[in-house]
Amino acid sequence: MSVLNTAPLPSATILGYPRIGPDRELKRALESYWQDSVQHPATTVLDTLARLRERTTVRLKDLGLDADHAIPSEGSAVDHVLDTALALGAVPARFRADGFSPAAPDTVRGIELITALSRGTDEVEPLELTKWFDTNYHYYVPELDPDTPLHAHPESLVSRYRDTLRRTGVRTRPVLVGPVTLLLLSRPETPADDAAPVDPLARLDDVLAQYVAILSSLAAAGVEWVQLDEPALAADGWSVPRSRIISAVTTAYTRLTSLADHPAVLVTVGYGDAGEDAHLALARTAVDALAVDLDRGDVPGGAALEAWGERPVVGGVVGGRTVWRTDLARAKNTLDRLRAAAHGPVPVGTATPLLHVPHDVTRETELDPDVRSWVAFADQKVTEVVELARGVEQGWEAIAGTLARDAEIRAGRAAHPATHRAAVRERTAAVRSEDRVRASAAERRTAQHERLQLPPLPTTTIGSFPQTAEIRATRAAHRAGRLDGAAYWEAIRSEIARTVRAQEELGLDVLVHGEPERNDMVQYFAEALDGFVTTRHGWVQSYGSRCTRPSILFGDVSRPAPITVDWTRYAASLTERPVKGMLTGPVTILAWSFVRDDVPAAEVADQVALALRDEVADLEEAGTAVIQVDEPALRELLPLRDADRPDYLRWSVDAFRLATGGAATGTQVHTHLCYSEFETVLDAIDALDADVTTLEASRSGSGIVAGLAAADFPRDVGPGVWDIHSPRVPTFQEVVRRVRRAAAALGPDRVWVNPDCGLKTRGWPETEAALDRLVAAAVTVRAELAREDDAARPGVSAAPGTAPRAVVGAVR
């Protein structure tokens, strides 16, 4: 084994930085290219990436990360997991058959390939999108079959490094997802419906051969440090036993560090505590440095640190997933404990990449100054890292002023009246367990059937309809004061009217108002509730070019006035069919906001739930018979470690039930979940006690339907039959197949027909085309079921359900 050089790891570092750009430059470049690749060719995306990389490096250097190897070399166009898959040359067979060959990410062909993999083509479906550990970032799931050819493509890793060095003079640290995590996150291309479960580690050797080739190329290019991220080590719930994962770690890092020439290897195990077994396994290889998450995890045990010897252990004391200032006194103590136990240097770092926080809070000039002083975005966190590193290097007295000021800000926050409001606390304290319980599911079912009179396989959508440029402009004009209340109200009403009319014409059974007034399903509620502030530039990447701007939940939460009732009432006045009231659930409001860290999450969730409970009551009062409370993030907050899960599931389910528990027997409560694998939390979904659950299902194959069937899930479900995350319109046959499969597996009297998720990112033409097929498919399968019924019971004719006007032309 020989490490190419002995350049030390610097005393301050971060594990990653936001990639989308302070003004979402990357989003704009990608979307322009996707919309019109003649006007905006792939080279414009590559130029934007290069400019952002340069900007980031210069900025980080200015903030004090001025040593070589302190700054990660990043720059994924769409997703870092996808980039790693491309670096290994892993292109699924269906894309190869469609004319795509492996390519390095930062090339025109690479951008074309990334576009196809993430968005699909007319011919083939895109990669599945799923959440990255317990965050709101979503990655594209790599697909690896036993025979997927692999071939290393290190070109972009090399060119990024060289380009940054040339432009800025800084030696950066290329980053890849580590081999063990990459394999655990991947899935086979051909879903193994009934076949034996696939072993995700089966291709370890082949994959390692590509990492070997990549590290050799990096060494040859003069790269001195490389970062391999292994967050999977801090999570449970993989399909292989822990012991095999640990032995894969040993195999992988023994091999990668025994190369003739290779850059020094920093392994990061963020997103929680990897545990003694993983630390020890890594320590027993010749890995050059380890970075641990000391925000969520603990200082590694003595045995592991003993085994690490004099190699550096990066103390990740600055959380990468929270916007609150780091508690510097606590960070100092943690670092002192690590330094006392470790035998080598302790550089200061972030716990995870800063991908999950916005760029810079100093730009938030409209934010309440008190709240702003409590907050740290990426740039402020870098400053915290740099300051703490100065404390480690020069002694804590060197940063005594910084520590004192932090303590003062912390005390001010604790004493601020908005962080403790007696009326809110009294109300949560008075909640009784009966408040979370409705009439029995059977009674509700009867009452709701009577009231709603829906056909079998009822059709509905998830809530939002296309958010056209026009609607966004209307909202923006209103916000900026260029459009007065009356004109705004009129514009939104006309959009609602259009949406209701379209749904009637398409023949949907349960309608929605379309959510044109909502900028975002969480921010909309955050703006209406007390206890939140919103930001102007606080964007974080959700997936690909999609960003969200989480609100900051900083105080006690209450509802000053009804939020959604007028819009829902207006939509209902336009149609005879039921219109769903649409609310975002308490868990999702928490998950997609930056939540205060000074009160237990269970208390915060109940505060939000009580506000929603009042909204449910007001919707009922306005005559609403169906109310959907979305919880797409239920699975997202699920702790990565098994031991932490029961407590989370208890308070999250409790909060949903507090929000919905006051609904009348005849009110049909829906919930909607998407973006992740729900198989592991089916019991919790059941415990939500919703009458109808709509789920994302079309990208993940038949998994969720099979899972629900196997669990004998006792409620109505709508497994999505149209993947709305890509512009592709499913064929009629595909939709029929999915509806049939769901009806057969779950029983036709329990199944709803709906898209995977809301339609806000889609355009009207594809929305109408797809919904037309969806309604047609429901009608077709209803007729099939009616015929089966007829055949089974001659003389009795089954109800065909509503026959939509669109259906004849729709069957194609």
Sort 593 into a burial class: Cβ within 10 Å, 0-12 / 13-18 / 19+: buried
80, 760, 762, 773: which one binds ligand MET (CB under 6 A)? 760
- Selected from 521, 553, 579, 587, the binder of ligand MET by CB under 6 A is 521
Cα–Cα distance, 419 to 414 (Å, whole number): 7
Q: Give the SS3 label for residue 475.
A: helix
Tokens representing 802 are 């509503």
By CB under 5 A, tell whether 582 contacts Zn ion. Answer: no
CA atoms of 744 and 737, how far apart (whole Å): 10
For ligand MET, the closer of residues 143 and 630 by Cβ is 630
> With contact defined as beta carbons under 8 Å apart, do 781 and 744 qualify?
no
Residue 262 assigned ligand-binding role: no
Report the site for Zn ion in 742-781 (rule: CB under 5 A): 757
Closest CA to 271 of 588, 639, 633: 639
With CB under 5 A as the contact rule, which of the stretches 231-239, 597-605, 670-678, 724-732 interacts with Zn ion? 670-678
Residue 462 interacting with ligand MET (CB under 6 A):
yes
Residue 129's nearest CA partner among 811, 632, 510, 524 is 632
Give the one entry of Zn ion, ligand MET, none that residue 739 binds, where binding means its C-beta sits below a cut-off of 5 to 8 angstroms depending on kind.
Answer: none
31 is in an annotated binding site: no
Residue 462 annotated as part of some ligand binding site: yes
Tokens found for residue 455: 């056909």
Query: What is the torsion angle, in degrees rounded to the nearest 10, for the CA atoms of residue 542, residue 544, residue 546 and residue 548?
Result: 20
Is 463 a binding residue for ligand MET by CB under 6 A? The answer is yes
Q: Which does 179 bind (CB under 5 to 8 A by kind): Zn ion, ligand MET, none?
A: none
Q: Is residue 471 involved in binding ligand MET (CB under 6 A)?
A: no
Shortest Å distance, C-beta 382 to ligand MET = 31
Residue from 757, 770, 774, 778 touching ligand MET (CB under 6 A): that is 757
Spatial neighbors of 634 by CB under 8 A, at least 6 apart, are 585, 587, 588, 652, 656, 673, 678, 681, 684, 685, 688
Tokens of 809: 């032309």
Smallest gap, in angstroms, from Cβ of residue 651 to ligand MET? 21
Of 708, 731, 729, give the one whose Cα is nearest residue 718. 708
In 3D, which of 216, 282, 205, 208 has the Cα closest to residue 250? 282
Q: Are 736 and 777 in contact (CB under 8 A)?
A: yes
What is the per-residue burial (b if ≥16 Cβ within 10 Å, else e) of 121-157? beebbbbbbbbbbbbbbbbbbbbbbeebebebbbbbb
20 is in an annotated binding site: no
725 catalytic? Reply is yes
Which of 172, 464, 541, 780 is close enough to bind ligand MET by CB under 6 A?
464
Q: Choosing among ligand MET, Zn ion, none, which partner's interface includes residue 582 (Cβ < 5 to 8 Å by kind)?
A: ligand MET
**β-strand pairing of 129-131 with 225-229:** unpaired
Interaction pattern, residues 614-653, with Zn ion; x per rule: CB under 5 A: ------------------x---------------------
Stretch that binds ligand MET, among 129-137, 564-572, 738-746, 752-760 (CB under 6 A): 752-760
Question: Any contact of residue 780 with ligand MET (CB under 6 A)?
Answer: no
- In the list 615, 630, 636, 716, the residue contacting ligand MET (rule: CB under 6 A) is 630
Are the C-beta atoms of 580 and 626 separated by less than 8 Å?
Answer: yes
Q: Considering the rule CB under 6 A, would residue 674 count as an interface residue with ligand MET? A: yes
Measured from the CB atom, the residue of 615 and 636 that comes closer to Zn ion is: 636
Instruction: Tell me whether residue 69 is annotated as binding.
Output: no
674 is in an annotated binding site: yes
Q: Which is nearer to Zn ion, 69 or 728 (CB)?
A: 728
Question: In the numeric block, which tokens belong to residue 277?
Answer: 């077994």
Tell me if 504 is assigned to a ligand binding site.
no
d(CA 456, CA 447): 16
Of residues 69, 356, 359, 725, which has the active-site annotation? 725
Residue 463 interacts with, from Zn ion, ligand MET, none (CB under 5-8 Å by kind): ligand MET
**Residue in the structure block whose two tokens are 């949907």:** 508
The answer to whether 580 and 510 have CB atoms below 8 angstroms apart is: yes
If the CB atoms of residues 203 and 513 are measured against ligand MET, the closer one turns out to be 513
Of the residues 491, 582, 590, 774, which one makes contact with ligand MET according to CB under 6 A: 582
Cβ atoms 229, 176 nearer than 8 A: yes
Closest distance to ligand MET from the beta carbon of 265 (Å): 38
Which option in ligand MET, Zn ion, none does residue 293 bind, with CB closer than 5 to 8 A by kind? none
Catalytic residues, which ones?
725
Binding residues, as ranges, are 27, 136, 462-464, 515, 546-547, 592, 630, 672, 674, 696, 757
Interface with ligand MET by CB under 6 A: which residues?
462-464, 521, 582, 630, 632, 672, 674, 757-758, 760
Binding residues for 5-methyltetrahydropteroyltri-L-glutamate, as ranges, are 27, 136, 546-547, 592
Interface with Zn ion by CB under 5 A: which residues?
632, 674, 757
